[in-house]
A and B are shown apart, each in its own frame.
Chain A
């Protein structure tokens, strides 16, 4: 079965610091996708990125970047020059195919607090 581990539970930084959120996963699938979602205090899960297991190139989107390393089963997320609006809980997730569905298996999440 799929498993996602986010070892850090909570991180607090000062604005403009860089911060990296770790995600380690387990899967027996040869083809899979990985996701990151953001959950701000309002509660809604906001999609950030979907990554295919065949593509190990790092991805950058503005201040966000993702480092996917298949050899270590990791999909880490870095926020550069953090801002107060980045304060949220961040989840890493992996689809699990069973019973005809692609249900997402989530890590426990990592709460990021960015202080001004």
Chain B
């Protein structure tokens, strides 16, 4: 079956611009996660959705970052007034229900470059 998909695969933008990154989770998965991976590092948690609601947004670095999942499926990560330090690979993952016993399956990521 289809895995987690993310679009675009690459995004180049200028400092100060607004960007949206999209994640389409595995069908039927209620839990959705966003992570950010900087060069040479492991992924770091940003936000977790259970259904339509953001159950844990403790990893968002500041209020320029926001994410939505209006219908409990596709999610969009939004970054306002981008800064060069936002350059990274943004990974999306989904799991069946978000429980400890579930496995998170990752998408291919969106590589964001802020010039």
Task: Please list the residues of chain A having a beta carbon within 8 angstroms of any beta carbon in chain B.
Answer: 4, 31-33, 35, 37, 42-47, 50, 91, 93, 95-109
Contact = CB atoms under 8 A, between A and B. Distances in A.
Chain A: interface secondary structure? Answer: strand
A46 B105 CA distance: 7
Interface of B: 31, 33, 35, 40-45, 48, 50, 55-56, 58-59, 89, 91, 93, 95, 98-109, 111
A99 B55 contact: yes
Contact of A99 (B31, B48, B91, B105): B48
B42 A107 contact: yes
7 smallest CB-CB distances across A and B, nearest first, come from A106-B42, A99-B56, A101-B48, A45-B106, A101-B56, A103-B45, A100-B55
A97 B100 contact: yes
